[in-house]
Copies of this chain bind each other. A is one copy, B any other.
């Protein structure tokens, strides 16, 4: 007997229904074989066939929006407004990758014609393109039941690349996962592609089995540092190691210069408050630490944040385990020597997964203590932010150099100010620099970078959001002296797919 997978309502803490059972190793194996068998046809469908499929999936998702949003809200307590936005983002992402396929530049086609006179040696005809890695395992995230789960960016980008996907459902929203998987499969069928390109498994052990399965060629993960590192280690320890794209935890530091604080303390306080409490602080880009100048304008930011924090009414967190971990992390930080609890929100009553928001404050010099600094420089997932008061730029820059890797780093500067030294240090520690803004609210565009140095991700060379997320699931293959008829269409001389290409060293538009 395997364990049942229950759907729980975070607002009540009660189990609503049993939706599945945890997958046995044999069941995981069967899913992987099915996915592997579907790989060749998905690749052969070509960019055009897969673009049709992704658009059909987006259509199906929107057609089923009411039911999906209701289920996701019941399982996440994120509210239907936010979840409608998330569904819109998910269908937008599916269509964005359809556009990436239409464009075709992602194939990275490079053609070098034979050059018998080349020095130092003659060169044969060589043609290079990117090809799908094979079946991909995707681990759904707790905090985005749609946009980083079954119909999320990992799935969309992997399917776009031509890789079948098996999602390991997050235990916080198994019913949403089941429904979304059905919907995506319906989209595949509508486009004439096998529904086997999208599979779903439940259970923690099933997830580990997936990462170890020979048919799985890469992994996308969004979740906790502990769980993510354990799976990364499994992927790396395989007889044949596979790429593991894990987004683990991110501090997302914010620097407010003295000039910025003097110019617009209230505006910055209001922006930071919204950014750190939004979605009950359950965003991977939540600002967890803000450096403000010691002195009056810094105090004004701090006081604005404290006042807003006291007035904040948190809703339920996503799951009991997440709420409990947040409480433990918040208490651990509050008890550190030299750290003050500047404010705490009302602690809501009820049987749901509730916890108060908390604002901590600490003078910069306290962070010279390794234990204090290490703990405060570690993400606390949930509605908590630490305000660090620095006395001068030298102290600030020294602290910035000790920051861990983050998805984002934010600078608030004064009008015309150019904090070059701080920006240079932050650039080494983040994947996205935010100027005079707030890190939450990740735009999904061609230029998006959502990935940064460890521990924010296990592979800073990639992104899990935006058009270039497709690159994670591809590998190059070159053909030497191969007759045109035996080449994939992408490499044929006549360029039947009208792709941008680099030919004999020169970039060419179709």
A-side residues, CB < 8 A to B, are: 40, 85, 88-89, 92, 99, 103, 105, 108, 110-112, 118-121, 123-124, 126-128, 131, 133-134, 232-233, 236-237, 240-241, 243, 405, 418, 420, 423-424, 427-428, 430-437, 441, 443, 445-449, 451, 453-455, 458-463, 467-468, 474-483, 485-486, 500, 502, 504-505, 507, 509
Closest 5 CB pairs of A and B: A449-B478, A236-B236, A88-B120, A126-B447, A240-B454
Q: A445 contacts which chain B residues (CB < 8 A)?
A: 112, 123, 126
Chain B nearest Cβ from A236, distance in angstroms: 4
Verify B405–A480 contact, CB threshold 8 A: no
Verify B240–A448 contact, CB threshold 8 A: no
User: Which one of B110, B446, B486 contacts A110 once the chains associate, using CB atoms below 8 Å?
Assistant: B446
User: Which one of B437, B483, B507 contacts A105 once the chains associate, using CB atoms below 8 Å?
Assistant: B507
User: Which one of B123, B237, B477 contacts A443 once the chains associate, using CB atoms below 8 Å?
Assistant: B123
Mind listing 29 A-B residue pairs with CB under 8 Å? A89-B120, A89-B121, A92-B120, A99-B505, A108-B468, A111-B447, A112-B447, A123-B443, A126-B448, A128-B446, A128-B447, A131-B427, A233-B236, A233-B237, A240-B405, A243-B459, A423-B486, A431-B476, A433-B477, A433-B482, A435-B479, A435-B480, A435-B481, A435-B482, A435-B486, A446-B502, A451-B476, A500-B507, A507-B507
Q: A119 contacts which chain B residues (CB < 8 A)?
A: 88, 92
User: Which one of B128, B423, B461 contacts A475 once the chains associate, using CB atoms below 8 Å?
Assistant: B461
User: Which one of B110, B232, B453, B507 contacts A447 once the chains associate, using CB atoms below 8 Å?
Assistant: B110
Residue of A119, A128, A232, A483 contacting most chain B CB atoms (<10 Å): A128
- Inter-chain CA distance A476–B424, complex, in Å, is 15
Verify B480–A432 contact, CB threshold 8 A: yes
Verify A241–B105 contact, CB threshold 8 A: no
For A471, the closest partner residue in chain B by CB is B461
For A443, the closest partner residue in chain B by CB is B123
| Contact status of A432 and B485, CB under 8 A, knowing A111-B447, A443-B123, A468-B110 | no
User: Which one of B424, B437, B479 contacts A481 once the chains associate, using CB atoms below 8 Å?
Assistant: B437
Number of copies: 2
| Contact status of A474 and B454, CB under 8 A, knowing A92-B120, A127-B447, A447-B127 | no
Residue of A126, A449, A479 contacting most chain B CB atoms (<10 Å): A449
Verify B475–A460 contact, CB threshold 8 A: yes
Verify B120–A433 contact, CB threshold 8 A: no
- Inter-chain CA distance A92–B459, complex, in Å, is 31
For A431, the closest partner residue in chain B by CB is B477
Residue of A105, A108, A460 contacting most chain B CB atoms (<10 Å): A460
- Inter-chain CA distance A476–B456, complex, in Å, is 14
- Inter-chain CA distance A153–B99, complex, in Å, is 35
Q: A430 contacts which chain B residues (CB < 8 A)?
A: 477
Q: A461 contacts which chain B residues (CB < 8 A)?
A: 133, 243, 474-476
Chain B nearest Cβ from A197, distance in angstroms: 17
User: Which one of B241, B423, B478, B486 contacts A458 once the chains associate, using CB atoms below 8 Å?
Assistant: B241
- Inter-chain CA distance A112–B448, complex, in Å, is 9
Q: A480 contacts which chain B residues (CB < 8 A)?
A: 432-435, 437
Chain B nearest Cβ from A400, distance in angstroms: 15
- Inter-chain CA distance A269–B435, complex, in Å, is 65
Q: A233 contacts which chain B residues (CB < 8 A)?
A: 236-237
- Inter-chain CA distance A84–B479, complex, in Å, is 28
| Contact status of A443 and B486, CB under 8 A, knowing A241-B236, A480-B434 | no
Q: A405 contacts which chain B residues (CB < 8 A)?
A: 240
Q: A504 contacts which chain B residues (CB < 8 A)?
A: 446
Verify B505–A446 contact, CB threshold 8 A: yes
- Inter-chain CA distance A123–B478, complex, in Å, is 37
- Inter-chain CA distance A298–B420, complex, in Å, is 69
